[in-house]
Structure 1
Amino acid sequence: MHDPREGITPDGMIRTGVTRGAIAPVYTPVLQAAVATVPGPVSLYVYGSVATGTATPPTSDVDLLSIGLPASEAERLSIELSERFRCRCRDVSVGPASWGDLEDQSDEGYGLRVFLRHYCVHLAGADPSDGLPEYPADARAARGFNGDIAQHLQRWRSALPRDTEVARLGTRIARKTLLAVAALVSLRDATWSTDRRACAARWNELEPAIWVDTLVAWLDAPPGDRDAITPVLEGPVAAIVRAFESEIGLWVSP
């Protein structure tokens, strides 16, 4: 869901509506269960529509970010919480990051720090975001968030012939690619937004030859046929990757 407060401050910094007070009580049991499940050294955050107060139960997702939780445990926790709280949300997703990721001086590490500072509400464990500064709404932040888009394209191409969960793959493609679209639109229009739908509409105005309506449709109704995915990957998705590389840049090592 769109965060109406997201944008740029008068001094050019990222602004969002993320705040602990925005979290609706209906999601409290989900968050409490997540906190109770992760071990003490792990830090846990909630982000997305739940953190901005724009979530709608039971169709919105609960998005969590962990620092220090192994990827296998994050996947197990995602499945467990999703099944347990199906009546409150569509899905619970726990993303894993490491303490090394947070300290890394690469584009990826920078993006994680920006994300923690502006898009996450702390739930448990140490809170490294507490000492982070505000970050500019610029190409570096956009690259930190989505500079891995070309890597994702290669993974999607490899996964397509063998992935049995075609709909889930389609959703991942749509969500990630449309975030890259939002970054491109933000930089072109000198604004800052991660609103996939609004930025997709604006992109269609800016680049009518690279229409992204199919990706927007997949946010709500992902494809059930893998044959429907290939032309989208090799058409608009590949074109967006090229535009992102040209205008913003892809991840590079420090």
Structure 2
Amino acid sequence: MAAQGHRRGLDAQGYIEREGSLARVPYAFRTVVAAARDRVQDMFGARLDSAYLYGSIPRGTARVGRSDLDLLLSLREEPTDTDRADARVLEAALDKEFAEIDGVGTLLFSRTRLLSDLETHDLGWFVACLCTPLLGEDLAGHLPRYRPDTLLARETNGDLALLLPRWRERIATAADTDDARRPLVRSMSRHLVRTGFTLVMPRWNGWTSDLGEMTEAFGAYYPERAADLRGAAVRGYEPTGDSAVLRSYADDLGPWLAGEYARVHGVKAPRP
């Protein structure tokens, strides 16, 4: 959702508003959302605490045949290998049956982790502000309200330096084809744009999930890197399979952004 005029995704008190809702789901995606809701309930049953949609579908900006379906499941216990396998089965079945979507992604976490102190300004914020309730209790009722401050910036994206070695490994081991590289370009492009945005989020004083608006906010503070982030935003929507792009992310834009992030906001609290 683009920022709402001068409010920039904030309510009258300056807190980040929840960005999606079931009412915003485009008509073309309502059948697949209903199917996902029913099948999540059937597959996970008593293991399920609650389920959410996130991404472009509940924001109302999804494109038929181009957008994926994103789900987050809160489980009563820590996810097991069986839970993950069931999620993959669910994803494959929905993706095969519904041409309206281009893939399904499912995040699995325990209720305890989502509501933990360590995750309050990362996964907790994600649930409270970026996820739309689909099934079960809405955990947002147990979480605080959030402002676009440096604490939120640090805890959401202050770990890019830790991700870069994994990115390089994924790039090195990917098949030498455009089809193999394209998903990497898409995911890394989006991650870099969002990290660039949250770098400037406290100064911009707002929230948006629109990649274009994120790059404009970033460019106002880092004009020397604006073109790099604009290119990443384009590839976040229309990814190429260019290996040179991936190398530039891992060896140039990524390291620069990680260093600047640590200088401005510090480093994300370590996870076990």
Q: TM-score, normalised by structure 1?
A: 0.87
* 1:81-138 C-alpha deviation (Å, 9 max, x unpaired): 22221x21223221222223213222x4431111211222211234322343422221
Q: Which residue of 2 aligns with 1:13?
A: 15
What runs of 5+ residues in structure 1 fail to find an aligned partner? Answer: none
Aligned-partner residue type, residue 90 of structure 1: D
Q: Secondary structure of 2:185's match?
A: helix
CA positional deviation for 1:170: 1.0
Q: Which residue of 1 aligns with 2:27?
A: 25
CA positional deviation for 1:245: 1.6
Q: Which residue of 2 aligns with 1:152?
A: 163
Out of 188, 199, 210, the residue aligned to residue 214 of structure 2 is: 199
Q: Which residue of 2 aligns with 1:214?
A: 231
CA contact (8 A) 1:111 1:143 kept: no
CA positional deviation for 1:176: 0.9
Deviates more, 1:26-35 or 1:126-135: 126-135
Aligned-partner residue type, residue 201 of structure 2: S
Q: Secondary structure of 2:173's match?
A: coil
Q: How many residues align?
A: 252
Q: Which residue of 2 aligns with 1:2?
A: 2
CA contact (8 A) 2:52 2:133 kept: yes
* 1:16-75 C-alpha deviation (Å, 9 max, x unpaired): 442232223322221222223221232210112221223232333222111225334333
Q: Secondary structure of 1:14's match?
A: coil
- The residue correspondences of 1:1-254 to structure 2 (distance < 5 A) are 2=2, 4=4, 7-38=9-40, 39-40=44-45, 41-42=47-48, 43-68=50-75, 70-85=83-98, 87-106=99-118, 108-164=119-175, 165-210=180-225, 211-253=228-270
Question: Percentage identity across aligned positions?
Answer: 25
Alpha-carbon distance between aligned partners in 2 of 1:3 and 1:191, rounded to the nearest angstrom? 8
CA contact (8 A) 1:178 1:196 kept: yes
CA positional deviation for 1:3: 5.5
Alpha-carbon distance between aligned partners in 1 of 2:270 and 2:237, rounded to the nearest angstrom? 35
Aligned-partner residue type, residue 261 of structure 2: F
Aligned-partner residue type, residue 58 of structure 2: A
CA positional deviation for 1:14: 0.7
Alpha-carbon distance between aligned partners in 2 of 1:129 and 1:82, rounded to the nearest angstrom? 29
What runs of 5+ residues in structure 2 fail to find an aligned partner? Answer: none
* 1:177-226 C-alpha deviation (Å, 9 max, x unpaired): 11111112222223333322122133234323323233123113323233
Aligned-partner residue type, residue 84 of structure 1: E
CA positional deviation for 1:11: 2.1
Q: TM-score, normalised by structure 2?
A: 0.82
CA contact (8 A) 1:170 1:218 kept: yes
CA RMSD, Structure 1 to Structure 2 (Å): 2.4
Which is richer in helix?
2
Cα 1:82–1:202 shift into 2, 3 Å: same
Alpha-carbon distance between aligned partners in 1 of 2:19 and 2:244, rounded to the nearest angstrom? 39
Alpha-carbon distance between aligned partners in 2 of 1:235 and 1:180, rounded to the nearest angstrom? 15
